[in-house]
Amino acid sequence: MRETSSGMRLDALACIRHLCEHYAEPQLYQQLAPSLCPLLLHCCNDTYYKSIAQALRAIGAYMYPLRPTVMTTSNQLMEMLPVFEVLKAKLLATDIDQEVKESALECFGHLVACTGDLPAFSPTLQACLPPFVERIKNDVTRSTAIKALKTICISTVHVAALSTVLAAVGGQLSLYLSQNSRAFRQQCLDALVHLVRKYGSAIPTETMMHILTDIVPFITDTDLYITDLCVQVASQVLQASPQMAPAVVDRCVLPVLLVCRSSLLQGSALDSILSFLSRLAQHREHCPFERLRQELSDTSVVAAAQAQAQRHVIGTLAKGLAAVVSSSATDVQTGAIQHFLGKIKQCGASPGPEAAQQCELSLLALGETGKTMDLSHTPDFCETLLQQLESSQDEIRLAAALALGYATVGAMGTLLKVVIDNTQQAGASAKGQKTQYLLLTSLREVIAIGVTQRGPGDQSLAEHLRPHVPRVLPILAQYADSNEESVRNVVSESLGHLLMVDQAAVLQALAPLLASKESWRVRAAAVSAVRFAAAKQCPASTIMPLKDQLLRCLADEELQVRKAALHSLNVACLSPTSTEIFRTHTDYIFDRIKEDSKQKPELIREVDLGPFKHKVDDGLPLRKFAYTVSTSLLSAYPEQIVSPSLIDLVLQGLADNEDVQVICCQLLQDLCSWNFALFRIIGRIGDVVEPFDRCIMRCIKQVQAKQQVGRAMDMLRLYARTLRVVEPIAETNQHKVFVDFMARIMKDSVFAQVYEHASSGKDSL
C-alpha cells in the first residue's frame, strides 16, 4: 500500500479485504491493526478514486476481526475512530465519484454494525447520521444506503443512536413503496422487516401508521413475494409494538384473509401469513377468535373453482384455522375443537357441496391443529375420524386420512398404535382395501413428517416410529404389487422414509421386493423407495447397501422398472449427501442411458380413433428420463461424463420428439459452460449444424403456414438460446461451418428477431 503504483495498491487493498471477510484467527488481525489502520486511512485520502473506494471497503471488512463478537472488543478497535470523520466528509460531499459514495455507505454500515453501541464512537456516529439519512433520500445513492441500513439492522449490536433518525428512515422507506421498480420495492420492504424487528419499539406511532397504510395495497395474490414481505412487516409491527394491534387489525386483517382464499398462496408467503395469524390470535380484545374463525371458515369463494383449486384453498384455510387455534387460550381451543367435531358429525351420508366442504375443512383443521397439540384424549376424536374414512365422498375420505396422519404427529404415543391397528384390521374385502389404502395415506404422512420434525422434549418423532416398523413393513409389501400407481407411490414413499428410521429392518424387507421375479410393479415400487430416501438427503450409508440393486434395475427387462431406477438415480446424483456413491459407476450408467435413449419401433403402437389413426410412443417417457439423468450426471460428475459421446447423445436427441429436444438443448448449453470440456468437444461443433438447421427450418415453415405457431415460436426461442451459447465458442475457434450456418440462418427475418431477443435478454422464456 506504500507503492506509488496504483495497481499494486488496489491489489493489496483487495487482498486485505478478502482476507478480512474470511478471517479465522482475529488475534492476528488485531496485532496488525496499529500498522495497517494508518495505511488504510492514508489510502482514503488518495487522489485516485478507485484506491479510495477499495480502502473504504477494506476498512469495513477489517472491523469484524477487531470485534468478532459483542463481548470481545479489542483495544485496537480505537484505531478506527478517525474513520468516522473521513466518512462524514464523503457522505457530505456531492462532487465525488459514484463508486466512492457507494463504498463510503457500505463502510458506514459495517462500522455502525460493529461499533454502534460503544460510547467512544457515539459522538462521531451521531454526526454522521444526518448525512446518512440524506443519502437514503437521494435517488442516486438510496439503494446502497438501504443496503447499509439493513447491515446495521441485522447486526447483533443495538445502536441506540439510531433512535433519532428512525422516524425519518422508516417514513422514507414507506414512501418508497409507491415506486414502480419492483426490485427496489422489494429491497425497501426487506429493510423495513429488519428495521421494525430490531427497533420497532422505538419507532414513533405516526411512522408505524404510515408504514401499515403503505403496505396494505401490496398484500395481494398477484405478487406473493412482495406479499410475503408486507405480511412480515405487519407481523413485526404487531410483535414490536403491541399497542399497534388495533391499527394492524383494522388495516391488514382483511387483505390477509382475502389472500388466504387464493388458490395461488403457497411457500414462504403462506408461512408468513400463518405466523401473522398466530400472533393476531394473541390479541383477542382487538380481534376476537370468532371473527377469525368465521372468516377462515368461509368456503363460498371456492364453489366455482376447479376441484384441485378447491382442495388447495380448503387446505390453506385449514392451516390458518389451526394457526389461530394453536395460539389461542385453552378455553378457546376446547371450544374450537368441539365446533370442528360438531361440523363433521353433522355431515350426513350424502352431504351437499357446501356441507361437504365444511366437513373437509373441519377435518383438515383438526389434523393441522393436532400437529402441535395432543387431541387423542378429546372425546369421540378417533371414532369420528375413522368413521369418515367410510364416507361416500372421496374428498372427505382423503381429508379424514390426512387429518388422522397429521394428528398422529402430535400424539405419537397413542394415535400411532391406533392407525397401525386399524390398518391391519381393515380386511381383504374391496371396502376394507379402500380403507386400508386411506390408512396407509395417514401412515405416510406420519412417517414423512416424523423423519424431519422433533417432538416434545426434543425427542425425535422417528424414535416413536421405530418400534412399529416391523408391523408396518408387511402391509407396505402387500400393497407394493397394487395395480394403482398412486397406491404404489404411497408404498415407495413410506419405505423410503422408513429407511431413515430403521435401516436394518427396511433393507431386509426391500431385498426380496427388489429381487421379485413375479411382478415388475413390486420391483418398481421398491427401487422408487431410494428416490424418496435421497430426496430427504439421507446419509450415504443409508443408500449404499442398495447401490448394486439400483444399478441392476437399470438393465431390467421391464421398461417401467428402468424408468423408476433412472428417476431414483437422478435424485440420488443431485442429492448432496449421496452424490459420491455413484461416481465410480458413471461409465456403466452412461452406457445404460445411451441404450434407453434410443427410439425403438417395437414400443410404438398405433391407436385406431375412428376417422384417423394415432401413434403412441410408449418409450418416450423412458427416453426423457434418460436424457434428464444425463444432464444430472453432467452436473454431478463433469470430469467423468464430458466426452464426444455426449455430443452423439445430443445429436440423437435433436432428431427425437420435441420434448426430448428441449432436454438436449439444455444439455448442450450445460456442456458448453464447462471451460475444461471445450477442447474435448470443439471438434464436434460442426456436427450440430445439420440437426439445428433441420429443426429451425421446420419451425419457420410452421410459423409461415400458421400451424401451431405458439409451439413453433417456443422451440425457435429454445434453439436461439442454445445457439447463442455455442456461437462464441465456434467464433473463437474459427469454426467456418458453424459461422457460415449462423450467417445463413440469420437472413431469415423470423429467426433473426427471435435470436435478437434472446441475445438482448428480452426473451420471455
Taking 60 as the threshold, does the pLDDT of residue 762 lie above it?
A: no
Could you report the per-residue pLDDT of 102-160, keeping only the tens digit for each? Answer: 999 999 999 999 998 888 888 889 999 999 999 999 999 999 999 999 999 999 999 98
Average pLDDT over residues 169-188: 93
Q: Find out whether 544 and 564 touch, Cβ atoms under 8 Å.
A: no
Q: What is the pLDDT of residue 765?
A: 38
User: What CA–CA distance (Å, rounded) separates 580 from 74?
Assistant: 44
Would you list the domain boundaries of the chain?
A: 1-164, 643-765
How many alpha carbons lie under 13 Å from residue 451 in its C-beta half-sphere?
Answer: 24
Which position has the grid cell 454526526?
Answer: 127
Could you report the per-residue pLDDT of 641-670, keeping only the tens digit for each? Answer: 888 888 888 889 988 888 999 999 999 988
User: What CA–CA distance (Å, rounded) separates 391 from 399?
Assistant: 11
Q: Find out whether 43 and 9 touch, Cβ atoms under 8 Å.
A: yes
**143: Cα separation from own chain's centroid:** 26
CATH classification number, 1-164, choose in 3.10.20.30, 3.30.360.10, 1.25.10.10, 3.30.310.10:
1.25.10.10
Could you report the per-residue pLDDT of 571-600, keeping only the tens digit for each? Answer: 999 988 888 899 899 999 999 999 999 888
Cell of 151: 447491515
Q: What is the pLDDT of residue 453?
A: 64
Taking 80 as the threshold, does the pLDDT of residue 397 lie above it?
A: yes
Q: 428 or 748: whose pLDDT is higher?
A: 748
Taking 80 as the threshold, does the pLDDT of residue 759 lie above it?
A: no
Q: What is the pLDDT of residue 763?
A: 54
Per-residue CA distances from 299 to 304, 348, 354, 404 (Å): 10, 18, 8, 22
Could you report the per-residue pLDDT of 677-701, keeping only the tens digit for each? Answer: 777 777 778 888 899 999 999 998 8
The DSSP H or E segment spanning 617 is strand 613-617
Taking 50 as the threshold, does the pLDDT of residue 315 lie above it?
A: yes
Q: 32 or 464: whose pLDDT is higher?
A: 32
Tell which residue, 97, 103, 85, 91, has the closest CA to residue 41: 85
Q: What is the pLDDT of residue 251?
A: 92
| pLDDT confidence tier of residue 429, bands split at 50, 70 and 90 | low
User: What CA–CA distance (Å, rounded) separates 649 from 293?
Assistant: 58
| pLDDT confidence tier of residue 487, bands split at 50, 70 and 90 | confident
Cell of 599: 427410439
User: What CA–CA distance (Å, rounded) separates 239 from 201?
Assistant: 9
The most confident of the ranges 14-23, 181-190, 423-432, 678-687 is 181-190
Average pLDDT, the chain: 88
Could you report the per-residue pLDDT of 225-245, keeping only the tens digit for each? Answer: 999 999 999 999 999 999 999
Taking 50 as the threshold, does the pLDDT of residue 57 lie above it?
A: yes
Taking 60 as the threshold, does the pLDDT of residue 100 lie above it?
A: yes
Could you report the per-residue pLDDT of 270-296, keeping only the tens digit for each? Answer: 999 999 999 999 998 888 899 999 999
Taking 90 as the threshold, does the pLDDT of residue 704 lie above it?
A: no
Radius of gyration of the CA atoms of the chain, in A: 32
Q: What is the pLDDT of residue 1?
A: 58
Q: Find out whether 131 and 91 touch, Cβ atoms under 8 Å.
A: yes
Q: What is the pLDDT of residue 406?
A: 92
Q: Find out whether 73 and 62 touch, Cβ atoms under 8 Å.
A: no
The DSSP H or E segment spanning 613 is strand 613-617
Q: What is the pLDDT of residue 455?
A: 45
Q: Is residue 706 left, alpha or beta, with left meaning phi > 0 and alpha meaning psi from -120 to 50?
A: left
Average pLDDT over residues 309-330: 92
Give me the residues paired with residue 604 across strands.
Answer: 617
Q: What is the pLDDT of residue 314?
A: 92
Taking 60 as the threshold, does the pLDDT of residue 410 lie above it?
A: yes
User: What CA–CA distance (Å, rounded) separates 39 from 615?
Assistant: 77
Could you report the per-residue pLDDT of 561-571, keeping only the tens digit for each? Answer: 999 999 999 99
The most confident of the ranges 84-88, 308-312, 428-432, 625-629 is 625-629
**Portion of the chain with pLDDT greater than 90, in percent:** 39
Q: What is the pLDDT of residue 566?
A: 93
| pLDDT confidence tier of residue 175, bands split at 50, 70 and 90 | very high
Q: What is the pLDDT of residue 466?
A: 84
Average pLDDT over residues 385-401: 89
